[in-house]
Structure 1
Amino acid sequence: MTFLTGAYRPFFPAAALFAGLSIPLWLVARMGAETLAGDPYLWHQHEMLWGYLPAALAGFLFTAIPNWTGRPALSPLALLALITLWLAGRGAMLVASDAMASQLLTASFLPVAAALALREILAAGNKRNIVVVAMVGAFWAAQLLFLWFDAQTGITAGFAVALLLMTLIGGRVTPAFSRNWLKKHGATRLPAEFGVIDKATLVLTVVTALLWIVTDTSMLTGLTAALAALAQALRLSRWRGLAVWKEPLLFAQHAAYAWLAIGLALLAASSLGDWASIGQVHHALGAGAIGTMTAIVMLRALLGHSGRPIEATRADSVLLIALHLGAALRVCADWMPDPTLLYHAGGTLWAAAMIALAMRAFPIAIAPRL
């Protein structure tokens, strides 16, 4: 069955559709409508971070790992079991998020995915990529913390790990793809190679993430977050983003990475004063960085692995702009006297873009490779 011949085929359309449908459910619940979830706010936090992102990660990992290792892709049966486990977790959390059985079911996805990924990486002796599996394990630990110990610390840890994952993956693919495109088009100035600035950015971001988890929005967190934001912006500036603006799928990767610097700057503003709220930090990193970065990675993978040209249509450009604009409206909402209009406008725009991405992805996912 074609749909199960690559992890990107079931996971990417499912992830985008889930994200697009979850936000309207949350907006309706926020207006006071009855929901099946025990606590709609905690459901929203959990499902956007540990519902959507693991699906996008699984699609990415099990599409990339055969390229990293030279080993075969997951079998259709294993892929079917994995997507079924993810779907079961989403259904369980929707109808009974407070039930232990639902929480056990949803908490089982990440360790299974990490174990499968680790098996392939170790079998190929590809130790360089063990760090990615370790990050998935840390993300799972944050989920357990959120579900069973301290939701506030858990959500902080979840966003902190996601920040590191986006820095790691975005920092790998963005300059690499841009370098290849610029070489193809005869450019002589290319994105800078990995160097001191990249190492400093990684160190500052790791330190900020750890301090955020341990000390919350302390002054120390704020100071390191400010330095990390500057480092992320400097790192991004060395990748020649403006030189690839004619190719929307490349320029969108640079724009997505910029949300990491924005999120860290907001974390500094929240920690050092009353200039931003922690909700703005969460949405800059969530709707902004995670949403736009995973969307562009999913779209590129769908096109490339299905044998299609990795080129954006006009509709692709519109949906990517809508994702950024929706995230920006939601972040800015907390600076308004009455944030309701921007809450709903941002959420609706972001959700519509995700549904458009699912509609774009599904026909590709079920079709044979060209």
Structure 2
Amino acid sequence: MRAPAALLCHSFLLQLAAYIVRPTSAYRAIELGVDPSLVGLIAASFALIPLVVAVAIGRWNDRGHVGPSLAIGGALMAGAGLGIHLWSKGLTSLLIWNAVVGLGHLLAVVGQQTLVAQLGRERLDSAFGTYTFAASLGQAAAPLVLAAVGGSAVLPDTRLLFAIYTGTCVVLLVVTPLLSHAGKEDRGPGGDQSLRSALRVPRATRRTMTGAMLLSMLVLAAIDLIQVYLPALGVEREIPSATIGVLLAVRAAATMASRLGLARLAARVGRTRLTYISTIAAGAAVGALAAPAPVVVSGALLAVAGFALGIGQPLSMAIVTAAAPPGTTSTWLALRLSGNRVGQSLVPAALSAFTAGIGTGGIFVITGIGLLGTAATARILIADDP
């Protein structure tokens, strides 16, 4: 298997595993009697450790340690799967194991994105579009697993789902050696400089980086909130878990479609303009999910939201990679991921405090408003296409 094919397979498996374990953790929490207002803490725990160590991992990858980053990440995710399968008896243990999953996921993602940046430097939109297409394929498959296991029950068999997650992580580890050699010796001229020097860039570049990272942060937080709160909304409205699984798959499939044709779309509309237009569309669709509506209408809204949300992530990667000085690509990509983890930890935790007052539907309204504000900010900060 050639390195690019192995990389796409690795990306698929990584996201399949992550998108199985996270809604399953939400279901397990509800199963254990945890107050629904605290479910957002599970999403926050996934981001907690990565929030602190992301940039250090990025520098480590810039120094040529892509292979170990991928291997350790997969091992942590598999180990956490065993732990969460056998020893998740309450909210505290769920939070701890999800934090370990988050760290392993970060190590693997930084390694993957470093390889993509190296392999696709001349065609960033296409390279990151294809990479994230494989990731969204995994995201689409995960809810179908959830639907198959859950059937018509409101609460699925979480033990079986955690076992499937662990098995997926084991396969991920098997695939890792096929690509871990790639990039091992590919250091840029700035790979050995200090972190402070690596982060020293012109003001205009910093503004563009900030805008891209902010957009990426809110887009990913919105996707996470859909993953966590749509099951909670399903329980609240007595929607079967199988139906929720199909709705989540619709979101992921639409995301996949947008990424498959991303290079052509960006070339026609312009990379910068496309980032904020797509975020506006996502904000409107996500906010509308709060309204009581037939399942078909919710599916249509999730399709629009999924298509629009799928654009922000790969384009923000392309913007950051294009702007990063040589030898600092992994560091800046990791800093972008660190920003993502800020959104994944602070946004769900903050919204959890308001869930009791505004209801699960209100979470979607606030998320939609946040996306609209992010689109306006990105329009100001990100430099126009050259």
Q: Which has the higher contact order (CA 8 A, sep 6+)?
A: 2
TM-score by structure 1 length? 0.32
TM-score (norm 2): 0.31
